[in-house]
Amino acid sequence: MALLEVVESSQEHLVDLRGELGKVRGALDRTDAVLAIADDTLSRAEDVIVQSRRWAPVVLGVIALVAVGAAAAVVIRRRRQGTPQD
């Protein structure tokens, strides 16, 4: 009878172990899903950074040209207002 009790006890432990392993598998699956989302988010952020590095000089150049144009227009307007008209 002792052998039968040991086998039954071992079987119960195996059932418990399978249950715990199932919980661990579920936790690993959830962790994997979260890591996939984080990876996707980081990839998108990297794409945004690369695009901003490409477009930043163009945007700054356009802003600088607009500022120079506005300053030139102000200077021209002041010169015209300062000269006597016939």
pTM of structure: 0.57
Q: Is 51 exposed, middle or buried (CB count within 10 Å of its CB: 0-12, 13-18, 19+)? A: exposed
Q: How confident is the model at residue 83 (pLDDT cuts 50, 70, 90)?
A: low
pLDDT at 9 (0 to 100): 85
What distance in Å separates the CA atoms of residue 34 and residue 26, rounded to the nearest whole number?
A: 12
Tokens representing residue 32 in the block: 């994997």
pLDDT at 8 (0 to 100): 83
pLDDT in tens, 12-58: 899 999 999 999 999 999 999 999 999 999 999 999 999 999 999 99
pLDDT at 1 (0 to 100): 65
What distance in Å separates the CA atoms of residue 34 and residue 40, rounded to the nearest whole number?
A: 10
- DSSP code, position 86: -
